[in-house]
Structure 1
Amino acid sequence: MTGQQRVLDVLVEAVDTLTEDFDLIDFLYRLSTRCVELLDVDAAGVMIVDQHGELQLIAASDEHTRLLELFALQHNQGPCVRCYHTGQAQLNISLTSGAATLDFGPFAAQARTAGFTVTHALPMKLRHEVIGAVNLFGTRLRRLSDTDIQIGQAIADVATIAILQQRTIEQGHLEKAQLQAALASRVIIEQAKGVLSERYNLSLDETFSAMRTYARPHHLRLTELAQHVIDNTFDGDFTQTDTP
């Protein structure tokens, strides 16, 4: 599949946000994986602001990145946090440079431990409203090209429009209620991942992939599937992907 086709796929996926049964978490997860596919990066994460004005992790391309992003939030530091507060892209930050990471001490060290050497952050904003940021990580010390920056920002813009559009469809003027519901759903999904990971002896990344594969043909949202697992009412085998 060509890069142009993948960009087109992102736009097509964005159109799906107009439907009533749109799954925000799954969409943002797909966007994070699209960043890895399209850009010269190895991992990506998406953070959005909750109703209290605090950043929360909503999606990541893999489990290691999810934990790193949570670490950044706990320490309130890193390019993604700065990007959200300033509304400006943070590009080509060498995690091996003391000067470049002067304000990111513990985060930079944790990122290096995870194998990353460079990071970038792109704002999720519409006009003057900033609702989050997309964080990108690379294991090789290479600068993003102008084309990659444009594509990355386009993906961040698509995510922003999708979230704001979904707010309008589902909650009208109660804009932040939908985001809070998504964040709460993410907690349930993480709990279910832990349960299923132990039950099937899979990694958390493998578990999440299997949950997504199971949910779609069974017409379940990820949150619904996760809630069944938490409530111990899930009696299927989510490793089986045949449609019902």
Structure 2
Amino acid sequence: MDDDDQLTGLWRRIADAGDITLGAACDVCAADLSVDCAGITLIDGGELRTLGHATDERARRLEDNQLVTGEGPCTEAYVRQTLVESADLHDAYARWPAFAPVAVEEGVRSVTALPLTIGRGRIGAVDLYRTAPGPLTEPERERARGYARILTLLALDSRPGLLAPRHQPLRPGPQGFPPHVHAAAGILAERYALPPDDALARMRAHSFRHGQPLSRTAEHVLAHRTLD
């Protein structure tokens, strides 16, 4: 089967599911590839990272963990612009010392991440998580690449501003956080006379230590003007 025939078949599978959206396509991708959950992180303008979709709460926590720690398969796939895979996350503790132990604790044993790219532009990555160790088969990888192309188009259809302007060079890796996270860091910086980067580091450490999403930590700071 050539690439065009494969893409046509994947589009048909998504359409048969009844809803041609980024979230629906991600759900179909996860079911078709028999992975246990999946998540999409979008990189807005090469800097701002946001959750595009998560098939369940576990995937949401794993995507947020990568946002908090700044490491993991999502970031690596985005930076390298290629498929990234760990067949057994027990062997990935040195590679991703903050992400891998959390993923294993969540019951995830293997992951495949693919960048979402169009031409020379890159807008994010999709993570495919499995509770059993082992890599995807080569036919599954080819289908995953096809789904990544489709997810890219659907993400851009709903958020055309994701691509960075061509005159602005992309940084080596995704930087930045959603606006309310920066707002919360600003509150802490002002209250404790900290540099903004130090305030943000405190929020990330607090989130990691308590195992909660960075966005939830930010919401608490916005409501109570403290981490406590």
Question: What band does the TM-score fall into relative to the shorter chain?
Answer: 0.5 to 0.7
Specify the alignment match of 1:118 in structure 2.
110
* 1:85 aligned partner, one-letter code: V
* Contact 2:38–2:55, Cα closer than 8 Å, also in 1: yes
Residue 140 of structure 1 aligns to a residue whose secondary structure is coil
Distance 2:27 2:81 in 1: 23
Specify the alignment match of 1:72 in structure 2.
66
Distance 1:144 1:7, change over 3 A: farther
Distance 2:41 2:115 in 1: 10
* Contact 1:115–1:139, Cα closer than 8 Å, also in 2: yes
> Gaps (5+ residues) in structure 1?
17-26, 169-174, 178-182, 185-244
**1:10 paired residue among 11, 14, 17:** 14
Residue 141 of structure 1 aligns to a residue whose secondary structure is coil
Specify the alignment match of 1:132 in structure 2.
124
Aligned length: 158
Taking structure 1 as the reference length, the TM-score comes to 0.58
Deviation at 1:5, TM superposition (A): 6.9
Specify the alignment match of 2:25 in structure 1.
31
Distance 1:153 1:90 in 2: 12
Show structure 1 runs of 4+ deviating over 4 A.
4-7, 11-16
Whether 1:158 aligns to 2:136 is no
* Contact 1:80–1:121, Cα closer than 8 Å, also in 2: yes
Distance 1:41 1:176, change over 3 A: closer
Distance 1:135 1:106 in 2: 16
* Contact 2:46–2:123, Cα closer than 8 Å, also in 1: no
* Contact 2:38–2:128, Cα closer than 8 Å, also in 1: yes
Which structure is richer in relative contact order (CA contacts within 8 A, separation 6 or more)? Answer: 2
* Contact 1:119–1:138, Cα closer than 8 Å, also in 2: yes
Distance 1:29 1:163, change over 3 A: closer
* 1:58 aligned partner, one-letter code: G
* Contact 2:74–2:113, Cα closer than 8 Å, also in 1: yes
Distance 2:117 2:26 in 1: 17
Specify the alignment match of 1:40 in structure 2.
34
Distance 1:55 1:93, change over 3 A: farther
Deviation at 1:68, TM superposition (A): 1.5
When the two chains are superposed, the root-mean-square deviation of aligned CA atoms in Å is: 2.7
Specify the alignment match of 2:77 in structure 1.
83
* 1:80 aligned partner, one-letter code: C
> Gaps (5+ residues) in structure 2?
1-7, 164-177, 180-228
* Contact 1:93–1:101, Cα closer than 8 Å, also in 2: no
Residue 88 of structure 1 aligns to a residue whose secondary structure is coil
Specify the alignment match of 1:211 in structure 2.
none
Residue 102 of structure 2 aligns to a residue whose secondary structure is helix
Taking structure 2 as the reference length, the TM-score comes to 0.62
- Identity %, equivalent residues: 25
Deviation at 1:55, TM superposition (A): 2.2
Output one character per residue of 1:93-124: Cα deviation in whole Å (capped at 9) or x when no partner. 42011xx3413112101100110111110110
Deviation at 1:8, TM superposition (A): 1.8
* Contact 2:42–2:124, Cα closer than 8 Å, also in 1: yes
Deviation at 1:7, TM superposition (A): 5.5
Output one character per residue of 1:9-60: Cα deviation in whole Å (capped at 9) or x when no partner. 22678995xxxxxxxxxx2221221122111311100011124613221210
